């Protein structure tokens, strides 16, 4: 999976958990929770979706890496690089 693929995966997950939000204009370096209405319950959902879709466990101490889109991509790309989008 490429960096672009990983970014798309995060967008897909965000679209599922925040269906009414406009996610097309997300800025990669600004905190997600400042751009769309996400609270700690929603971050749990992101983590749970990663587990469900890709069997990836994100330990609680690493949640901070998911605060921005850029953070998500750099944290997740190494974990997902050998996977295909379809998994």
Partner 1 sequence: MRYETIIIGAGLSGLAAGIRLAMFDKKVCIVEKHVEIGGLNSFYVRKKRRFDVGLHAMTNYSPKGVRSSPLGKLLKQLRISHDDFRLCQQEVSEIRFPENSLRFTNDFEFLRQEVSEQFPDQIDGFNKLVEKILSFDELNLNEGGCLLSRPVLESFISDPILIDMLFCPLMYYGNAREGDMDFYQFVIMFKSIFVEGFSKPQGGMYYILNLMADKFKSLGGELRMGNGVKTINSKEGTVYSVTLDKDGELETEAVLSSMGYVETLSCCQPKVLDLEECKIGQVSFMESLFVVDKEPRDLGYDKSIVFFSTQPRFNYKVPGDLIDISSGVLCCSNNFKFPEPLDDGLIRLTNLASFGRWDCLPRKDYISAKKEWRGRALDALFAFFPDFRDNVVFLDSFTPKTIKKYTGHINGAVYGSPQKIKNGKTSVNNLYICGTDQGFLGIIGATLSGISMANLHLLK
Rounded to a whole number of angstroms, the minimum distance from the CB of residue 44 to partner 1 is: 6
Number of residues near partner 1 (by CB under 8 A): 17
Question: What is the per-residue binding string for partner 1 in 34-63, x denoting contact by CB under 8 A?
Answer: ---x-x-xx-xx--xx-xx-------x---
| 3-state SS, one letter per residue, for the chain | CCHHHHHHHHHHHHHHHCCCCCCCCCCCCCEHHHHCCCCHHHHHHHHHHHHHHHCCCCCHHHHHHHCEHHHHHHHHHHHHCCCCCCC
Site membership for partner 1, residue 15 (CB under 8 A): no
If the CB atoms of residues 45 and 70 are measured against partner 1, the closer one turns out to be 45
If the CB atoms of residues 36 and 70 are measured against partner 1, the closer one turns out to be 36
């Amino acid at each position: 999976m490429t960096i672009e693929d990983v970014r798309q995966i995060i967008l897909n997950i965000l679209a599922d958990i925040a269906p009414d939000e406009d996610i097309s204009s997300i800025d990669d370096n600004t905190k997600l929770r400042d751009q769309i209405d996400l609270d700690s319950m929603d971050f749990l959902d992101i983590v749970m979706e990663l587990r469900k879709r890709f069997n990836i466990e994100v330990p609680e101490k690493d949640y901070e890496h998911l605060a921005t889109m850029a953070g998500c991509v750099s944290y997740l790309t190494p974990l997902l690089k050998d996977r295909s989008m379809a998994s």
